[in-house]
Amino acid sequence: MTQTALKTVPPRRTARIPCAVALPILAVVVSTAIQCWPAAQAALQYDRTQISLGQYWRLVSGHMVHWGWRHFAGDISAMVLLCWAIQPRGGWKIIVAALGGAVFISLAIMIVAPNTMIYRGMSGVNYGLLAWVILARLAASPRPAAACYTALLTAMAIKVSLDLAAPNLIPSVGLPEGVTLTGIAHFAGFYAGTLIWLLNRLPMQITMQHKARPRHVGLPN
Amino acid sequence: MNTNETHLKESTQLNNATHGRWRRARRAVVLAFVAATWFAAACPTPASGAGLLVADGGFGGVLEVESHDVNVTINNGIAVTEVKQVFQNTEDRQVEALYTFPVPKGASVANFSMWINGKEMIGEVLEKKRARQIYESYKESRRDPGLLEQKDFKTFEMRIFPIGPKAKQIVKITYYQQADYDNDWITYVYPLSTVSSGGKTSKTTGKFAMSLHAKSEIPITEMESPSHGKQFVIARHAESYYQAGLETTGGDLNRDVVLAYKIARPKTGIDVIYSKPDSQDGYFCMTLTAGQELTKMDTGMDYVFLLDISGSMADEGKLKISRNCIKAFIDELSAKDRFEIITFNVSPTTLFNKLESAGEKSKARAETFLTSRSASGGTVLDPALRTAYKYRDEDRALNVVILSDGMTQQNERAQLLAAISQRPSNARVFCVGVGNEVNRPLLGRLARDAGGLAAFLSRGDNFVRQAQAFRRKLTKPAMRNVKIDFTNVEVYDLLPAKMPNLYHGAPVRIYGRYRQAALANATLTAEVNGREVTMKTEMDLPERDSDNPEIQRMWAWRKVQMLTAQPKPHANDITSEIVRLGEGYSIATEYTSFIVLENDAEYKRWKIDRTNALLVARDRTARERLGKQLEGMRNDALASLGPQGAKGVQGANPATNTTGSTPGRTPQFRSPAPFSGGGGGGGPVGPISLTVIALLAIGARRKRKQTGNLPDEPPTGEPSPTQPEA
């Protein structure tokens, strides 16, 4: 009886929401709340003057603020799709990558674009995640597919470089009149994603090399 | 199959079922998010109004203020404010925009323009009823009129119809006002804060920008913004010229913008500026500022503070600010002074019930008393005022300081004016109003009739400084029985007709007209502490002067104010004179409104003269001349920057500056970070990138389907949760 009872008991499982799901949910909830609350937009957007006065949270929170619902829609759907492409992998490192990328982008804007006083949007972070996804596919694909991913990576690198060099060349969708595209955000985001992926890949490469080392297996006597 | 195998199978089935449900749920969530975000993009933006802009289309709704640009020039003590706003109809229907905004203290609205078919159409002033009739007739035929009316003493209302679905509308309003001088500080307030806007979103969706140019004959030593602090970028271009700029996105339209600048010394004596159009009599504005004639009195004074704690004082934090004002004032009192505080709503309550010396102990008691007061009930000022008179001491001057919003009951006003006229001989009444929701006419009249002063403070102002300035006025004697005589010229229509007392640091401006060009003399005589004081100045009245056209409208506006303050302002002869002045000088009054029509032909059709179009063209030409002068000063300041004498530096054109700052027009920055005056940035991922991302996501899903597993190796290097490690 005891044995039968034991058989019917399902194995114990821990419910975990993957980080690649948690990240877009968090982004959607926070960004929607901000979008519906104009006072929060002003308090959270990237504002160069306020950051220099010590409001450092804007380095991260600015990426959750948008110029309007169209801008919001574009950025949020891109984030959701990217996380969809990544999940259920990614782990907590994807959150670290997104946050790290956000800070990196904001610092890049501060240094490279000193005239950009206010910045809003998640596109830079999205470009970081995009670089991450393409690189992950590239690393895992057989040669013909890898060539396609390499081409895609190159195309995206050219695209973000163009955004940086000529922000008006490719018309931006979702930005209200009077707001210009901040190309450095895309550029910095893309290369931040690449850099973080490479840094993350490094310990795994070392581990794999260690595992691949031939072991001496002695013949039975 | 043993027990373990059964268990494993069941467990695997359960896992697969759970994972299947989880995957489906996850997919549904993702699709829902994507759908929701795209739906949000496709749907109209939820209406979020700014200030009191509402869609009055019969179904409620609120419009958006997309941008709000304010350009202020203060020259010769007169501030010209130009406000350009872009409204956006976020709804899918045609609406009428209704925008209510507070009238700045002492301001005369001198222009209202609208952009129709891409062209600026300048409004014209008509008698109020006629303007409304014309507006309504256009509304019926769904064409483009605009109407600007004075709603009451403190608000203007602007109506624009129609604003098409999702359409934008640009409007421009210009008003003139006297800069608020107080000793060596000049304060400019751009009023935005109103009680009635409470509960509504008060942000612009786009840019809120303000630029102020202050020019002064006496060197300016500093400039600050008590309301917005370091958000303002302030630049000193020359000793006599400062510029300030503020630019934010999502600017708050529910908070006054206050800027104050200090001049090197108090401006004293008599200054006159002129305006003389061809074939018309001339206008002049004379500023009288008392200086050394008013020496500080050493004797102590008595003060009774009347603090209004009625329910209306709870709005806008008026009570809190008034309390702080009294505290700041009491802190300034010396041991020789005595004071009492009376709070009142429907009945008065006293603190000491006698005059107490201004020692530390009594000041502490006063602070506790003030803190314990809260706002409730109605306002009945008369008994409180009569109680205050009882504190009169034969040997000492009694100053009654009323801190109220003046929102008394209508039937009490006559009693109040009577109480003022029955005040004791050595008593003066001063009124302090806080915020924009203040009955300025009543408080002003009470103070004027009582030989005192009225001060109106913005919530964004520096109260300690204002309290100190107010106390300075009270501790110095006033010039009484002020008279001014003109010789060698015929002067008429002097405003104010009866000269008010002249207080330390608070100039009095006199507007008047003159018949012909002449070299004349003006002699001011007054009484200070029983002795007569005389001030003289020479006036070179010009044959023609087109530099200060603003003073023509300021004179007309003063005259309208004088007529409105008559005992029977609604009498036919008075209203017809107000209408004549309003139409002739193009100023919005209680009886005249601005109307904007679609084109010149429509104005002709209604037989409306383009008086204002001509006046605006003339004023703009004068402002352009001043603008060029200021630009020259900015260029000089720029040329002096950097190493001097280097090749190409001399006479360098600042327009070639490529530092990112707007050359010439942008101040040199004192704030911690440079502010380009623009620089709003963002980055949507765009359709190309979004397509790539979508393809990658679809690819990932397919691969998952094919393998029932993960699309590729773990990008993070983490082991797969479902595949055993090899």
* Minimum-distance CB partner of B207 among A13, A116, A178: A178
B706 at the A interface (CB within 8 A)? no
- Looking at the structure, tell me whether residues B282 and B245 fall in a common domain: no
- Within-domain flag for A125: yes
Number of domains making up chain A = 1
- Within-domain flag for A8: no
pLDDT value of residue B253 = 63
**Chain segment B134-170, per-residue pLDDT in tens:** 988 887 776 778 888 887 766 788 888 778 888 888 8
pLDDT value of residue B579 = 93
- Within-domain flag for A35: yes
Best residue in B48, B716, B722 for a mutation probing chain A (most A CBs within 10 Å): B716
Distance of residue A111 Cα from the nearest chain B Cα, in angstroms: 12
Which DSSP helix (H) or strand (E) runs through B210?
Answer: strand B207-215
pLDDT value of residue B341 = 93
Token pair 């030989």: residue: B451
B contacts of A45 (beta carbons < 8 Å): 249-250
Q: Cβ contacts of residue B480 below 8 Å, gap of 6+? A: B451, B501, B526, B527, B528
pLDDT over 70 percentage in chain A: 73
pLDDT value of residue B571 = 77
Instruction: Write out the DSSP string of A27-72.
Output: HHHHHHHHHH-HHHHHHHSEEHHHHHTT-TTHHHHGGG--SSHHHH
- Within-domain flag for A6: no
> What does the longest C-alpha to C-alpha distance in chain A come to?
82
User: How large is the ipTM?
Assistant: 0.73
B646 at the A interface (CB within 8 A)? no
Q: Any idea which of A3-7, A198-202, B13-17 has the lowest mean pLDDT?
A: A3-7
pLDDT value of residue B159 = 84
B460/B705 Cα distance (integer angstroms)? 63
pLDDT value of residue B218 = 79
pLDDT value of residue B126 = 92
pLDDT value of residue B698 = 80
**Chain segment B421-442, per-residue pLDDT in tens:** 778 877 888 888 877 667 777 7
Best residue in A3, A49, A154, A177 for a mutation probing chain B (most B CBs within 10 Å): A49
B contacts of A201 (beta carbons < 8 Å): 717
Last residue of a domain, one of B475, B509, B541: B475
A contacts of B31 (beta carbons < 8 Å): none
Residue A16: other Cβ atoms inside 10 A: 10
Is the Cα dihedral B706, B712, B714, B719 positive or negative?
Answer: positive
Token pair 């595992």: residue: A211
DSSP reduced 3-state for B325: helix
- Looking at the structure, tell me whether residues B373 and B454 fall in a common domain: yes
Q: Which has the closest alpha carbon to B168: B205, B136, B197, B193?
A: B205
The bridge status of strand B302-308 relative to strand B398-403 is parallel
Joined tokens for residue B509: 């401006």
A109/A75 Cα distance (integer angstroms)? 18
Answer with the residue of higher pLDDT: B190 or A202. B190
Q: Do A75 and B686 touch (CB under 8 A)?
A: no
* Mean of per-residue pLDDT scores for chain B: 76
* Mean of per-residue pLDDT scores for chain A: 77
Q: Do A7 and B10 touch (CB under 8 A)?
A: yes
pLDDT value of residue B661 = 34
Residue B540: other Cβ atoms inside 10 A: 10
pLDDT value of residue B659 = 31
Distance of residue B358 Cα from the nearest chain A Cα, in angstroms: 41
Domain of B614: which CATH number?
A: 2.60.40.1730
Distance of residue B363 Cα from the nearest chain A Cα, in angstroms: 37
B contacts of A67 (beta carbons < 8 Å): 680, 682
**Chain segment A132-141, per-residue pLDDT in tens:** 888 888 888 8
B714 at the A interface (CB within 8 A)? yes
Distance of residue B659 Cα from the nearest chain A Cα, in angstroms: 9
Residue segments in chain B with a per-residue pLDDT below the cut of 50: 1-3, 8, 14, 22, 26, 29-51, 195-201, 646-679, 709-726
- Looking at the structure, tell me whether residues B317 and B350 fall in a common domain: yes
* Minimum-distance CB partner of B674 among A21, A72, A114: A114
Distance of residue B236 Cα from the nearest chain A Cα, in angstroms: 20
Contact predicate B99/B652, CB 8 Å = no
- Looking at the structure, tell me whether residues B251 and B378 fall in a common domain: no
With a CB-CB cutoff of 8 Å, which residues 205-234 of chain B face chain A? 205-207, 230-231
Domain of B548: which CATH number?
A: 2.60.40
Domain of B367: which CATH number?
A: 3.40.50.410
B139/B413 Cα distance (integer angstroms)? 40
Last residue of a domain, one of B448, B475, B502: B475
Q: Which residues form the domain of A199? A: 17-203
- Looking at the structure, tell me whether residues B88 and B184 fall in a common domain: yes
- Looking at the structure, tell me whether residues B129 and B205 fall in a common domain: yes
- Interior angle at CA A118, CA A115 and CA A120, nearest 5: 130
- Looking at the structure, tell me whether residues B371 and B450 fall in a common domain: yes
Contact predicate A55/B666, CB 8 Å = no
Q: How big is chain A, counted in residues?
A: 221
- Looking at the structure, tell me whether residues B322 and B382 fall in a common domain: yes
- Within-domain flag for A10: no
- Within-domain flag for A188: yes
Q: Do B715 and A89 touch (CB under 8 A)?
A: yes
Q: Which residues form the domain of B204? A: 52-266+590-656
- Within-domain flag for B41: no
- Within-domain flag for A113: yes
Q: Any idea which of A3-12, A191-200, B107-116, B158-167 has the lowest mean pLDDT?
A: A3-12
* Minimum-distance CB partner of A119 among B7, B67, B682: B682
* Minimum-distance CB partner of A10 among B3, B14, B712: B14
B174/B172 Cα distance (integer angstroms)? 7
B34 at the A interface (CB within 8 A)? yes
**Chain segment A132-178, per-residue pLDDT in tens:** 888 888 888 887 788 888 999 999 899 888 888 877 666 666 676 55
Q: Give how far Cα B357 sits from Cα of B324, B360, B469, Å.
A: 20, 9, 21
Residue in chain B closest to A84 (alpha carbons) equals B697
B14 at the A interface (CB within 8 A)? yes
B717/A60 Cα distance (integer angstroms)? 26
pLDDT value of residue A209 = 53
- Within-domain flag for B666: no
- Looking at the structure, tell me whether residues B559 and B598 fall in a common domain: no
**Confidence label for A208 from pLDDT (cuts 50, 70 and 90):** low
- Within-domain flag for B8: no
Cα separation of the two ends of chain B = 27
Joined tokens for residue B314: 């709870």
- Looking at the structure, tell me whether residues B262 and B348 fall in a common domain: no
* Minimum-distance CB partner of A201 among B30, B676, B717: B717
B279/A85 Cα distance (integer angstroms)? 80
Q: Give how far Cα B653 sits from Cα of B345, B633, B677, Å.
A: 63, 13, 20
Q: Do A178 and B67 touch (CB under 8 A)?
A: yes
Q: Do A66 and B674 touch (CB under 8 A)?
A: no
Distance of residue B179 Cα from the nearest chain A Cα, in angstroms: 30
Cα separation of the two ends of chain A = 50
- Looking at the structure, tell me whether residues B615 and B645 fall in a common domain: yes
Number of domains making up chain B = 4
The bridge status of strand B454-457 relative to strand B427-434 is parallel
Burial label, B590 (beta-carbon count in 10 A; 0-12, 13-18, 19+): buried
pLDDT value of residue B439 = 78
Distance of residue B97 Cα from the nearest chain A Cα, in angstroms: 21
> What does the longest C-alpha to C-alpha distance in chain B come to?
126
Domain of A131: which CATH number?
A: 1.20.1540.10
B contacts of A51 (beta carbons < 8 Å): 673
pLDDT value of residue A140 = 80
Q: Do B689 and A109 touch (CB under 8 A)?
A: no
pLDDT value of residue B712 = 43
pLDDT value of residue B59 = 55
The bridge status of strand B78-88 relative to strand B168-178 is antiparallel
Distance of residue A46 Cα from the nearest chain B Cα, in angstroms: 9
Burial label, B425 (beta-carbon count in 10 A; 0-12, 13-18, 19+): exposed
- Within-domain flag for A98: yes
Average pLDDT over residues A79-85: 85
